[in-house]
Amino acid sequence: MQVISGIYKNRKIESPNSELTHPMGSREKMALFNMLQPYLEGASVLDVFAGSGALGIEALSRGARSVVFVEKSAKIAKVIKANLKAVVEEANATVVTSDIKNFEPNQTFDLIIADPPYNLYDPALIEPLLNYLNAGGILALSHPKGSAVPTFANASPFKTHAYSGAEISIFEKL
C-alpha cells in the first residue's frame, strides 16, 4: 500500500496482515479522498477502525491539520505508529488503542472517517461518534455494498457511491 496523493505521495504504508482489518482498495480510497478533498485543508480528523492508518495518513498528506487514529488491537496500533514514523515527517497525530464502544475523545472533529471491517459493520456503533463531530462536519462511512445507507438522527447523507464490494456514504452533521 502507498499514499496516493499529497505531500507524502508514493510513500509506502505497511499493512498489519491481520484478518481483523480489511485495507481499502486503491480505487475506493482515491474515490473517497476525491469526495473529501474540499473538507481536508486544516481539518481535525478522527480515523476509526484505523487498521494500518492508511486513511488518516492520506488525510494528513492532503492537508489535514491533525488526526486521531482509533484501533482496537494494540498489535495493529503499533503498525500505525510505525507507519506514521516512516511516512509522515511531522504530524499532529495520536494513536489510541480502544474499542470504539469505549472511545470518548476530549475534543471534537471536522471529519470522521469510519471504515469498519464488514463483519463488524453496525451503524449503531457509528452513530455515537457524531457527538464528537462539529456542526457542519463530515462523516465518511465505508459499508458493505447492498447494505442500506444508514439513517442518523443528526446527520444527513448527501453522497453515496458504490465501488466493487463497498459503498461510501458521506454525511453532514446538522
The total domain count for the chain is: 1
Q: Would residue 90 count as lying in a domain?
A: yes
Residue 4 within a domain: no
Assigned domain for 102 exists: yes
pLDDT at 20: 57
As a whole number, mean pLDDT of residues 132-156 equals: 93
Domain of 100, CATH number, reads 3.40.50.150
Distance separating alpha carbons of residues 5 and 173, to the nearest angstrom: 27
**Confidence band (pLDDT; 50, 70, 90) for 21?**
low
Q: pLDDT band at 124, cuts 50/70/90?
A: very high
pLDDT of amino acid 100: 92
Range in 16-25, 90-99, 120-129, 163-172 with the lowest mean pLDDT: 16-25
Query: Is 60 exceeded by the pLDDT of residue 72?
Result: yes
Cell 492520506 maps to which residue?
58
Residue 53 belongs to some domain of the structure = yes
pLDDT band at 117 (very low <50, low <70, confident <90, very high): confident
In a domain, 82, yes or no: yes
Decide if pLDDT at 19 tops 90: no
Report d(CA 131, CA 97) in Å as an integer. Answer: 20
pTM for this entry: 0.94
What pLDDT is stored for residue 90 in this prediction?
77
Question: What range does the domain containing 112 cover?
Answer: 26-173
